[in-house]
Structure 1
């Protein structure tokens, strides 16, 4: 055996189907494209979503709702979470850095303190927004509210 007599295994290769090479080949004429229609023409390229002239799905289905570009997205943190954090770390002040370090938020999120749960610790709480009930509960516990 040498390079001059190497060949692929029997049945592992097929010859390419040479279409459009005249009537003697048996693959001339329409060249496997069928008769007429857009798919038989040269340069045919189907548009995405085209359904043969039928009204396409993306035009049949109505539009719905809108996206408010001025929406401000807050990460809500409840009073019970603040109480648990204050108990575990013996804190008097809770700010954004404390919440990031505790894993409640990521550094670029806005925070809103919500009023679920009870607060007994006297805390100074710094956040971007407060619900009325949360603000009242913090002040009632002897703490202070700082809006950023």
Structure 2
């Protein structure tokens, strides 16, 4: 097997010599190197993929639509079922949610939503709660604390 592998070779004509442009008139691709006389194609090396040769570009031909609000608040959503990961009596806040990997990245607010069930009593601190989430947390014996209220209480102390 090793003897055969050492004798492998490409078939005849499988590789071509590299084309050397601009190496004299006699080479066939000398002087203008196959680019013709003058003009942008003779001068410029490459073109941007979206360049359309002077035609109005597609991005400018299409109408502008919609609006992007750069001040929009990014909301991290946490479902009631996600709170099941915590022990009974635990205080669930942003740090605890990050530690468990339930929320990641940058955001402006945390909102607890009502999908799923909760069987443990936990104290949840967030910016806002849906009505169903508040009801399910209270039904399980837990407590909901709005973050604005928690900050005001901390400032008062």
Question: Which residue number in structure 2 is paired with residue 53 of structure 1?
Answer: 54
TM-score by length of 2: 0.60
Note closer, same or farther for the CA distance 1:37–1:139 as it changes in structure 2 (3 Å cut). Answer: same
- Secondary structure of the 1:138 match is helix
Task: Give per-residue Cα distances to partners, 1:48-85, cap 9 Å, x unaligned.
Answer: 33212222222233334332112111221111221x22
Task: Give per-residue Cα distances to partners, 1:75-121, cap 9 Å, x unaligned.
Answer: 21111221x223xx333422222212222123754421101123343
Distance in 1 of aligned mates of 2:124 and 2:66: 37
1:80 aligned onto 2:78: no
Question: Which residue number in structure 2 is paired with residue 91 of structure 1?
Answer: 89
TM-score by length of 1: 0.63
Greater Rg by CA = 1
Shift of 1:132: 2.1
Note closer, same or farther for the CA distance 1:134–1:15 as it changes in structure 2 (3 Å cut). Answer: closer
Structure 2 residue runs of 5 or longer lacking an equivalent are 1-16, 148-157
**1:1-148 paired onto structure 2 within 5 Å:** 17-18=21-22, 27-28=30-31, 32-40=34-42, 44=44, 48=48, 49-82=50-83, 84-86=84-86, 89-106=87-104, 108-109=106-107, 110-148=109-147
How many residues are paired up?
Answer: 128
Structure 1 residue runs of 5 or longer lacking an equivalent are 1-12
- Secondary structure of the 1:66 match is coil
- Secondary structure of the 1:145 match is strand
Distance in 2 of aligned mates of 1:95 and 1:25: 75
RMSD value, Cα: 3.2
Distance in 1 of aligned mates of 2:93 and 2:128: 12
- Secondary structure of the 2:144 match is strand
